[in-house]
Structure 1
Amino acid sequence: MDGKEKFSRGKWPWECNGEGCRVGMPWLFQSLFNAGKVITSLASNNSQIKLKAAAAPSKLSPEEQGEAEERALALALATKKEATLLEFYSPRCRLCASLANTVAEVEAKNGEWLNIVMADVENKAWLPEVLQYDIKYVPCFVLLDTYGTALAKTGTPASRLHVLTGLSYLLESMWPIRKAMKPVQSSDDTSPNQGR
């Protein structure tokens, strides 16, 4: 066999030794082949992730979503924290969606005295609150005290900055109230000098 015959069968003449020729790829093609393997494995993993997401439970129905949000408000008021911030939003509102991370940060930062509850204005379950607090725009934040009484709400949103400024004013308005509130000692508490 000459080198031409070996090459025509798909074998490279420089990979031959005394025992025969080894079928293989040149190093340049081997690196491309390895890259193709990586891409293929990523694509198959990605399709598995998509399949898992498709098998995950579907979103809540509007009724279930409304009930969950109403339970969140009831729980927030039951905790007797100093304030609850009720955020009225619409799932179709891009400004509302852009505030999600900021609202989560506000809740994490002020969680010891503040609860934040989301309320979808497009959900019929929130119609009484929408009417009660005169919600005509979204996003709209309503500040509630410990007993659920509305203290203030943000104005008509002209921009993201305008909404964030209104939210900041609502939170700042609680400082005098928070300073005036003093912890009430229960009858179980005894001072160290009481028995002497």
Structure 2
Amino acid sequence: MTFFSRYARTAALLISCFFVWACENDIKDVNNFTKRQTGVEEATDVTSFMSQEGIIKAKLRAPFMLRHQADTRNQADTPYVEFPRSVHVDFFDDSTKVKSTVDALYARYKEAENKVLLRDSVVVINLEKGDTLRTSELWWDQEKEQFYTDKPVRIYQIDKTIFGKGLKAAQDFSNYEIFNITGTVLTTGNQLDSL
């Protein structure tokens, strides 16, 4: 029995050494494992409704959406939703009739600020008046229900086109203020079809 127990002890010692050696951790591996990575959720063919007091105010559609979670270890990091392949928004009046639309090739919704950055070929159309805004970048403040930008803008109306830099407008584009008008071109007939 002593012969067997000596081999058993030796085998147990070797197995223990193997497990201790196999369980050695590199500090980089430990840090990478414990580091909280920001999660990203994906969605396709997105349709979302925004309402106030039970009344639908807007309908958002996008072919692709990314929702970025905040890194809990970084207090400056805030969650946001990204629409990298275009976004379309219909704004409704109180009788749920589409009053205006917004289109952009890219959008980023900052949840903490309740603001949306619209970029790349931004177009806002007021369907009642026929006015059309075109710009490269536009902010949409959902709490104030308004758009604003400091970038160059073009506003196409039935009888003229206004060029300027910087703008503040109601989110239904019913009224707006251009901060620095750089030019106005009078038009005849409906030339918007060629745009």
Report the TM-score, using the length of structure 1 for normalisation: 0.27
Larger Rg: 1
More strand by share: 2
Please, what TM-score do these two structures have when normalized by structure 2? 0.27
Whichever structure has more helix as a proportion of its residues is 1
Larger RCO (alpha carbons 8 Å, 6+ apart): 1
